[in-house]
Amino acid sequence: MRLWPSKAMILGVFSTLIAASTAGVSNAADAIQIRAGNAVSNVSTNGTGGWGVGFGYAHDLKDWRLGPIPVLTNSSIGGSIEYNELARFGDAVETEVPMSLELLWNYDMSPQIQPYWGLGGGAYYRKLKGTGDDKQFLRDGWHLALGANTPLGESQQIGLDARFSFTDSNNGTPNPVFGLGSADALHWGVKLTWTLRYQSLPPQPKP
């Protein structure tokens, strides 16, 4: 059973959102995020998982509106790229580089805790190396993001980010180390984050 939308659907949704984000935005802010932590696959031949790092960019849409109607309140749109080592057995390693567009919803629960969640999708580059039957794959996939930040000064935040990715990790033919893989794989990780927020556009007077 296929658990993710097609490339056309993913690109269509996010290209529409990106086009919409270029108009009607006032007092917008941008954020960049660096994260590092673990990386795990539910495929049984992948062992206990490994490590990963990531980078994200988000553009604030909290004031975007369609005429007088507020749209996508407290949300942001952006992109994410990660490098994850999903499994290693000696010299054999499986790595994955998810490259995704994403839409995030942000909440000010309190001055100390600011949770968020989001959905994203894009291309997943996966590589098997040092196995005796090395392969590379470029597949589509989507992810669910859950996280929370706490302020560290006026423009910085630290926090946790958990991502659950659904993608095709089938190896085509059984690999000597990692086996056949799975067409319905779940890859996930929890990472520590550092976020820097900054003003991208000068504040505009509201009409």
What pTM does this model have?
A: 0.81
Query: Is 204 strand, coil or helix?
Result: coil
Domain membership of residue 139 (yes or no) is: yes
| Partners of residue 71 on adjacent β-strands | none
- What pLDDT does residue 205 have? 52
Domain membership of residue 87 (yes or no) is: yes
Domain membership of residue 115 (yes or no) is: yes
Q: Can you give the CATH number for the domain in which 160 is found?
A: 2.40.160.20
Q: What angle do CA 90, 96, 97 make, to 5 degrees?
A: 140
How many structural domains compose the chain?
A: 1
Domain membership of residue 78 (yes or no) is: yes
Residues 6+ away with beta carbon under 8 Å from 202: none
Domain membership of residue 109 (yes or no) is: yes
Q: Nearest-CA neighbor of 119 among 8, 13, 20, 6?
A: 13
Least confident segment among 74-88, 100-114, 181-195: 100-114
Average of per-residue pLDDT across 18-32:
54
Residue-wise pLDDT for 28-72, tens only, equals 589 999 999 999 999 877 676 799 999 999 998 866 677 777 767
- What pLDDT does residue 60 have? 87
Which one is predicted more confidently, 33 or 3? 33
Domain membership of residue 205 (yes or no) is: no
- What pLDDT does residue 68 have? 77
If one counts every other C-beta atom within 10 angstroms of the C-beta of residue 87, the result is 23
Residue-wise pLDDT for 103-155, tens only, equals 999 888 888 899 999 999 999 999 999 999 999 999 999 999 999 999 998 89
Which one is predicted more confidently, 154 or 83? 83
Q: What angle do CA 12, 16, 21 make, to 5 degrees?
A: 150
Domain membership of residue 12 (yes or no) is: yes
- What pLDDT does residue 199 have? 83
Residue-wise pLDDT for 92-108, tens only, equals 999 999 999 999 998 88
Domain membership of residue 29 (yes or no) is: no
Q: Nearest-CA neighbor of 125 among 169, 92, 172?
A: 169
Which one is predicted more confidently, 25 or 107? 107
Least confident segment among 16-20, 62-66, 160-164: 16-20
Q: Nearest-CA neighbor of 184 among 205, 165, 163?
A: 165
Above 70 in pLDDT, residue 173?
yes
* Domain with 177 in it: 7-22+35-199
Average of per-residue pLDDT across 1-22:
45
